[in-house]
Amino acid sequence: MSSSTIHRDRPLITAWSAVSPFGLGRDAFAAGVGRGQPAHEVPDFDVRKVLGKAGTRTYDRATGLAVTTVRELLAEAEAARSPIATGGGTALVLGTTLGSADSCAGFSRASFEGDKPYDVPAQLMPNVLMNGPAAATAIRFDLKGPNTTVAGGAAGGLLALGYARRLLAAGRAERAVVGAVEEQSPTREWLAGDTDRTIGEGGVVLLVETARTLPPGRRVLAELLALDVRLDIDDDPAQALADTVREALDQAGATPEEVWAAAVTGQPAGEQLAALVGTEAVGRVPALLGDTGSAATVFSLTTVLSLAEHDPTAAGRVAVIASLDHQGLAACAVLRLTGGDR
């Protein structure tokens, strides 16, 4: 690998998995999308029961979700006889809002309520750090490439995807496991404040590679054509969303008529997106998991991939995945759905 050469080939999404309110793994998620029934909490998720007792004593819920999601990705690839290499060539880029808000609150509370310094559980200190889930995941699965946590609100998943694209372009990694994780907890619900939206949770990851390093026989599910991010500085978030979607489509060389599926998460903006790419494309992607924070965009993308796998009309068409948060940060990714061909 060279740090001075910029590679221009487009990132390819070649696998994905999720731990979601529909259960553990890709098949459970796809089945849940097929049923179309909303769900918000990963059922019966006990970290030590799911991952075993070895090395998990200090894992909090967010860390357990992240580790389990990557475990599912690696296991599913192994079962499909298309294993994912680990070691120094594999980066991990994970979006999140706070890591575990519940762990941060609990640790801080202990520091105020304890009589002595040793009343604060020092072994839980890593859970206070935002990069705790990504660090624990990399250690458990020997992912020795760049390890990055991206906190960007509703756009966190897309920002993580953009960061991974830069790592691959710079030759800093041969492949990247990219995704996001959010927990459902009383602290996160309290932070959300008064809202009609139900808090959701889960972990979701993509395997992103390039044609340079693609192993023989690996299926390509989608190609990242463009990604645009911008901040609303004119107090007109609808216009910021429109600008980022149009710019991303323009960079991709795609037209609104080519869009097969589209979704926007963060602030309610489905009507604005439908005005840009069509009602049919927006209506194709159901929102089933509630407010999953930084994971929402990646869950939208895996929903599209799940639906596309069973619809031959999706092959060769375009997907638009966008976000708009309450502070006016707008982001949009445009992907070409390949239908599983290279």
Q: Would you put residue 294 in left (φ > 0), alpha (ψ -120 to 50) or beta?
A: alpha
Q: What is the pLDDT of residue 342?
A: 44
Q: What is the pLDDT of residue 114?
A: 82
* Beta carbons of 152 and 294 less than 8 angstroms apart: yes
State which residues of the chain have pLDDT below 70: 1-4, 194, 340-342
Which of 169, 151, 175 is CA-nearest to residue 91? 175
Q: What is the pLDDT of residue 326?
A: 87
Q: What is the pLDDT of residue 340?
A: 61
Three-state SS at 153: helix
Q: What is the pLDDT of residue 1?
A: 47
Q: DSSP label at 143? A: B
Mean pLDDT score across all residues of the chain: 93
Degrees to nearest 5, angle at CA 147 with 172 and 340 = 70
Instruction: Please state, in angstroms and rounded to a whole number, the distance separating the CA atoms of residues 32 and 54.
Output: 31
